[in-house]
Amino acid sequence: MGRYVIERSLPGAGALRQEDLADLSRKSNDVLADLGEEIAWVQSYVTGDKLYCVYDANDPELIAEHARRGGFPCDRVSEVRTVISPDTGR
Protein backbone atom coordinates (compact mmCIF):
# COMPACT_ATOMS: atom_id res chain seq x y z
CA MET A 1 0.00 0.00 0.00
CA GLY A 2 1.37 3.43 -0.91
CA ARG A 3 1.11 6.68 1.02
CA TYR A 4 -0.13 9.80 -0.76
CA VAL A 5 -0.52 13.50 -0.03
CA ILE A 6 -3.63 15.05 -1.58
CA GLU A 7 -3.88 18.78 -2.15
CA ARG A 8 -7.45 20.11 -2.08
CA SER A 9 -8.34 23.74 -2.81
CA LEU A 10 -11.09 24.82 -0.47
CA PRO A 11 -11.42 28.61 -0.19
CA GLY A 12 -12.00 29.61 3.42
CA ALA A 13 -10.93 26.22 4.77
CA GLY A 14 -9.12 27.82 7.69
CA ALA A 15 -12.31 29.55 8.79
CA LEU A 16 -14.48 26.41 8.79
CA ARG A 17 -16.28 25.76 12.05
CA GLN A 18 -15.69 22.55 13.98
CA GLU A 19 -19.18 21.40 12.94
CA ASP A 20 -18.32 21.91 9.26
CA LEU A 21 -15.11 19.92 9.66
CA ALA A 22 -17.01 17.16 11.44
CA ASP A 23 -19.51 17.02 8.54
CA LEU A 24 -16.66 16.75 6.01
CA SER A 25 -15.05 14.02 8.08
CA ARG A 26 -18.30 12.04 8.33
CA LYS A 27 -18.88 12.28 4.57
CA SER A 28 -15.32 11.13 3.89
CA ASN A 29 -15.67 8.22 6.31
CA ASP A 30 -18.94 7.13 4.67
CA VAL A 31 -17.32 7.07 1.22
CA LEU A 32 -14.25 5.27 2.55
CA ALA A 33 -16.46 2.58 4.09
CA ASP A 34 -17.99 1.95 0.65
CA LEU A 35 -14.56 1.74 -1.01
CA GLY A 36 -13.24 -0.97 1.29
CA GLU A 37 -9.93 -1.72 2.94
CA GLU A 38 -7.74 -0.74 -0.02
CA ILE A 39 -7.82 2.93 1.01
CA ALA A 40 -7.46 4.64 4.39
CA TRP A 41 -7.44 8.27 5.51
CA VAL A 42 -4.53 8.96 7.87
CA GLN A 43 -5.00 12.67 8.67
CA SER A 44 -5.46 16.10 7.14
CA TYR A 45 -3.96 19.54 7.63
CA VAL A 46 -6.17 22.60 7.24
CA THR A 47 -4.61 25.85 6.00
CA GLY A 48 -6.18 29.13 4.89
CA ASP A 49 -7.54 27.94 1.55
CA LYS A 50 -6.42 24.32 1.25
CA LEU A 51 -6.57 20.91 2.83
CA TYR A 52 -3.55 18.61 2.68
CA CYS A 53 -4.71 15.07 3.27
CA VAL A 54 -2.61 11.97 3.86
CA TYR A 55 -4.02 8.68 2.59
CA ASP A 56 -2.82 5.12 2.28
CA ALA A 57 -4.09 3.37 -0.85
CA ASN A 58 -3.32 0.42 -3.07
CA ASP A 59 -3.95 2.57 -6.15
CA PRO A 60 -4.06 6.37 -6.49
CA GLU A 61 -7.20 5.98 -8.62
CA LEU A 62 -9.01 5.03 -5.39
CA ILE A 63 -8.17 8.49 -4.07
CA ALA A 64 -9.67 10.11 -7.16
CA GLU A 65 -12.75 7.89 -6.83
CA HIS A 66 -13.11 8.89 -3.17
CA ALA A 67 -13.03 12.56 -4.22
CA ARG A 68 -15.63 12.01 -6.98
CA ARG A 69 -18.04 10.12 -4.73
CA GLY A 70 -17.67 12.58 -1.87
CA GLY A 71 -17.74 15.73 -3.99
CA PHE A 72 -14.32 16.74 -2.64
CA PRO A 73 -11.79 18.77 -4.61
CA CYS A 74 -8.68 16.83 -5.60
CA ASP A 75 -6.13 19.15 -7.18
CA ARG A 76 -3.04 16.99 -6.86
CA VAL A 77 -2.15 13.51 -5.65
CA SER A 78 1.53 12.98 -4.84
CA GLU A 79 3.05 9.69 -3.76
CA VAL A 80 5.27 9.92 -0.68
CA ARG A 81 8.70 8.56 -1.61
CA THR A 82 10.34 8.87 1.79
CA VAL A 83 9.88 10.64 5.11
CA ILE A 84 12.46 12.82 6.82
CA SER A 85 12.45 14.48 10.22
CA PRO A 86 14.92 16.28 12.48
CA ASP A 87 16.21 12.84 13.47
CA THR A 88 17.27 12.19 9.85
CA GLY A 89 20.14 14.64 10.26
CA ARG A 90 21.27 13.42 13.66
Task: With beta carbons less than 8 A apart as the criterion, state whether 4 and 58 touch.
Answer: no
Using 50, 70 and 90 to split pLDDT, how confident is the model at 88? very high
Supply φ then ψ for residue 20, to 5 degrees. Answer: -65, -45
Give the pLDDT confidence score for residue 80 in this predicted structure: 98
Per-residue model confidence as pLDDT tens digits over 2-60 = 999 999 999 999 999 999 999 999 999 999 999 999 999 999 999 999 999 999 999 99
**HEC-encoded secondary structure of 6-59:** EEEECCCHHHCCHHHHHHHHHHHHHHHHHHCCCEEEEEEEECCCEEEEEEEECC
Give the pLDDT confidence score for residue 19 in this predicted structure: 97
The CATH number of the structural domain formed by 2-84 is 3.30.70.3090
Per-residue model confidence as pLDDT tens digits over 59-75 = 999 999 999 999 999 99
User: Where exactly are the structural domains of the chain?
Assistant: 2-84
